[in-house]
């Protein structure tokens, strides 16, 4: 399967984006399509068709909907004007509309004979209404009658037919005013995306044969050396091999405090080097870099729609044909049953009904609200992969935490070494454990290796035979011809080793040689500074149950849970057993939404099972970026409460907009049927409610 991303120009609204997506999906050999309205992009997965043939077909379909496909960098560069300020055509449009308003004003207040007044109104109508009518004609030619261009064109032309020239022009004027504010809101949303897309560095200073060359970051390979000067963005992930500097990671994690980097430190793409010059050895290619993954996540976030967004689309498919049918009944059938009312009055009522019925306020405000919420989360260092997850987050009532690396720092230190065999000293016990754990990257293993380094115990140069990792239990290996067991109580029980039970806090690692217990080492983790506050905040947010799952010892896990005020704890779990525990929660709490928060390293099965999987892997964690539906780019668990607040505020605004728009429209629709309202009120209602909904949507920013 192949993939292509195409830039779009002329995409007017989120509803238009959905229409385009449906049309493109109908093309043969296209597997999936995601049209991103706010990003003006189309992501297509396809097979058994050449790229050129695909683009040709997509262009034909898009053109029929008034959307242009940009296929080269020059076209894309020109299209970016849309994201920043008004381009030349927009300035011309404003000048044209100013002339139209002057002509409309002269026609309205001037005392002219009928023919001159008619000509002035028609001149103004042509200026404001030509574009809308042309779009309506194109949609009719495609068999699409159910859109705002058709509704407004029909209503305004009908007003001209019955001699209401000022109302006909006003329909188009206020529609263009609404479109103007629509464009401002969309451009602001697009600009926020563009700001985030600026994470990407334009170039990399590549060191080659003693010279520094400016190259495209995408051409740099793993192992290459790059120079990052003060004030430059770091183009690729890597390891600092020379220099000391301060970096600004606020664009990635929402934290404005600079961070120090020095030799051997990892540095992520997208951060800004503030002070010194640093030399970096590249560790990932651009396509796998942190900044590339973040950009992909943000770009594709609007493709995963919330149930509310899908409801609006389905609602419109039913709503629009119904209101058009009612308008036609008012204009052509009602006069038969109510002859005492003039036919022209029924036509007028039907035209007013059409004006009020336009559903564009919902099509604009609902996706804009979700997009604003996702943007606010990004600014707070939390990336959400779709509005569906934002909605699920607002509805969640149960939060499940992994312990190590999530509630705790995942930074283990050796707190106790206790030999149980007379001839074994503390250092000897530590040496054996260090030699075996030296092959592992697990945090507990690293803590033992670090302790060996602190005590200058040599663990290098030893050969291990028959090395075997036993999932959830420990390691079996042969050292100097002797079988060594290193692991937890489960391993000792499995191998029938007699050992001394440890009942204190921390993780205990036993060692045994030839089934004889040598002693144990206790490793303790540290609870994060903001964990207790985060748990308290969740309870204040009316989260019904907080659960902790851990692979750690029961005693240690229960001590942490008690300290933090967690409602329920399950310990000594293997990864598959964590999934079972989550399944039990769903069984015991049907119809409840569950959030799982894990470190993104070994929690992928659980993260993918729950309604919202939150990865706490920290900045640059590949596992976190891949596994979570939502990624907290710092290790601050308190960010979860922040984003829950954002999600609830967003959903509140979405519901307000839906209720407000439908309530006002249905009220005025009823008045239109009864003949109590007029076209001016219909125009103001449609434009006004759209502006109110748009402005309300922007409040999603946190």
Rounded Cα distance between 219 and 201, Å, is 13
User: Could you count the other beta carbons within 10 Å of the beta carbon of residue 248?
Assistant: 16
**CA dihedral over 446, 447, 453, 456, signed as positive or negative:** negative
Query: Are 13 and 77 contacting, i.e. CB atoms less than 8 angstroms apart?
Result: no
The H-or-E segment that residue 433 falls in is helix 426-437
Rounded Cα distance between 648 and 655, Å, is 11
Rounded Cα distance between 367 and 362, Å, is 8
In the residue annotation, 525 being an active-site residue is answered as: no
- For residue 210, give the DSSP letter: T
Q: Identify the active-site residue in 12, 224, 237, 402.
A: 402
| Rounded (to 5) percent helix, strand, coil in the chain | 55, 20, 30
63: tokens are: 């053109």
CA dihedral angle for residue 41, residue 45, residue 51, residue 55, rounded to 10 degrees? -40
Rounded Cα distance between 662 and 395, Å, is 23
CA dihedral angle for residue 527, residue 530, residue 533, residue 539, rounded to 10 degrees? -80
Non-local CB neighbours of 393 within 8 Å, separated by 6+ positions: 384, 595, 612, 630, 643, 644, 647
609: tokens are: 């099972």
| Alpha carbon of residue 97 to chain centroid | 38
| Helix and strand numbers, DSSP H then E, in the chain | 24, 26
Q: Helices (DSSP H) in 32-113: which residue ranges?
A: 51-64, 73-79, 88-109
Active-site residue numbers?
402
């Amino acid at each position: 399967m192949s993939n292509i991303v195409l830039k779009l120009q002329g995409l007017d609204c989120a509803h238009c984006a959905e229409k385009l997506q449906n049309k493109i999906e109908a093309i043969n050999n296209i597997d999936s399509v995601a049209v991103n309205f706010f990003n003006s992009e189309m992501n297509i997965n396809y097979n058994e068709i050449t790229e050129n043939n695909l683009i040709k077909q997509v262009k034909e379909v898009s053109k029929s909907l008034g959307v242009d496909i940009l296929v080269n960098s020059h076209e894309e560069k020109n299209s970016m004007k849309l994201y920043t300020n008004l381009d030349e055509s927009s300035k011309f449009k404003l000048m044209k509309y100013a002339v139209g308003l002057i002509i409309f004003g002269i026609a309205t207040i001037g005392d002219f004979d009928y023919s001159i007044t008619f000509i002035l109104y028609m001149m103004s109508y042509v200026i404001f209404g030509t574009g809308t009518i042309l779009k309506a004609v194109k949609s009719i030619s495609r068999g699409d009658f159910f859109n705002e261009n058709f509704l407004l064109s029909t209503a305004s032309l009908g007003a001209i037919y019955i001699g209401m020239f000022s109302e006909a022009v006003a329909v188009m004027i206020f529609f263009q005013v609404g479109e103007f504010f629509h464009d401002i809101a969309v451009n602001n949303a697009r600009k926020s995306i563009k700001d985030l897309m600026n994470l990407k560095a334009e170039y990399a200073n590549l060191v080659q044969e003693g010279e520094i060359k400016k190259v495209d970051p995408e051409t740099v390979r793993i192992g290459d050396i790059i120079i990052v000067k003060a004030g430059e963005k770091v183009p690729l992930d890597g390891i600092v091999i020379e220099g000391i500097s301060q970096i600004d990671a606020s664009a990635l994690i929402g934290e404005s405090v600079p961070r120090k980097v020095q030799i051997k430190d990892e540095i992520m793409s997208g951060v800004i080097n503030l002070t010194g010059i640093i030399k970096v050895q590249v560790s990932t290619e651009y396509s796998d870099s942190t900044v590339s993954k973040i950009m992909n996540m943000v770009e594709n976030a609007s493709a995963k729609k919330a149930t509310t967004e899908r409801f609006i689309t389905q609602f419109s498919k039913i709503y629009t044909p119904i209101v058009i049918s009612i308008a036609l009944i008012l204009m052509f059938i009602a006069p038969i049953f109510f002859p005492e009312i003039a036919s022209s009055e029924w036509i007028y009522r039907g035209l007013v009904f059409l004006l009020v019925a336009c559903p564009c306020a919902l099509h604009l405000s609902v996706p804009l609200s979700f997009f604003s919420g996702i943007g606010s989360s990004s600014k707070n260092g939390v990336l959400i992969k779709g509005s569906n997850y934002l909605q699920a987050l607002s509805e969640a009532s149960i939060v499940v935490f992994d312990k190590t690396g999530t509630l705790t720092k995942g930074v283990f230190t050796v707190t106790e070494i206790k030999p149980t065999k007379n001839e074994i000293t503390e250092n000897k016990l530590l040496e054996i454990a260090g030699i075996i754990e030296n092959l592992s990257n697990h945090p507990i293993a690293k803590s033992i290796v670090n302790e060996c380094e602190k005590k200058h115990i040599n663990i290098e140069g030893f050969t291990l035979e028959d090395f075997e990792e036993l999932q959830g239990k420990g390691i079996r290996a042969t050292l100097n011809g002797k079988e060594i067991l290193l692991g937890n109580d489960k391993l000792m029980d499995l191998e029938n080793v007699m050992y001394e039970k440890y009942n204190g806090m921390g993780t205990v690692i036993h060692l045994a040689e030839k089934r004889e217990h040598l002693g144990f080492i206790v490793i303790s983790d540290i609870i994060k500074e903001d964990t207790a506050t985060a748990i308290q905040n969740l309870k204040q947010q009316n989260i019904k149950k907080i659960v902790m799952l851990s692979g750690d010892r029961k005693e240690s896990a229960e001590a942490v849970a008690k300290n933090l005020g967690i409602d329920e704890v399950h310990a000594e779990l293997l990864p598959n057993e964590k999934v079972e525990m989550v399944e039990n929660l769903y069984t015991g709490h049907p119809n409840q939404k569950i959030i799982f928060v894990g470190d993104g390293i070994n929690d992928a099965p659980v993260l993918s099972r729950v309604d919202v999987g939150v990865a706490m892997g920290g900045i640059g964690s590949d596992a976190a970026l891949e596994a979570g539906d939502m990624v907290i780019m710092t290790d601050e668990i308190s960010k979860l409460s922040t984003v829950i607040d954002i999600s609830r505020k967003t959903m509140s605004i979405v519901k307000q907009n839906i209720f407000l728009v439908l309530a006002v429209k249905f009220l005025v629709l009823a008045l239109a049927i009864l003949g109590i309202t007029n076209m001016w009120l219909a125009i103001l209602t449609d434009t006004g409610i759209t502006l109110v909904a748009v402005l309300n949507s922007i409040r999603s920013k946190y």
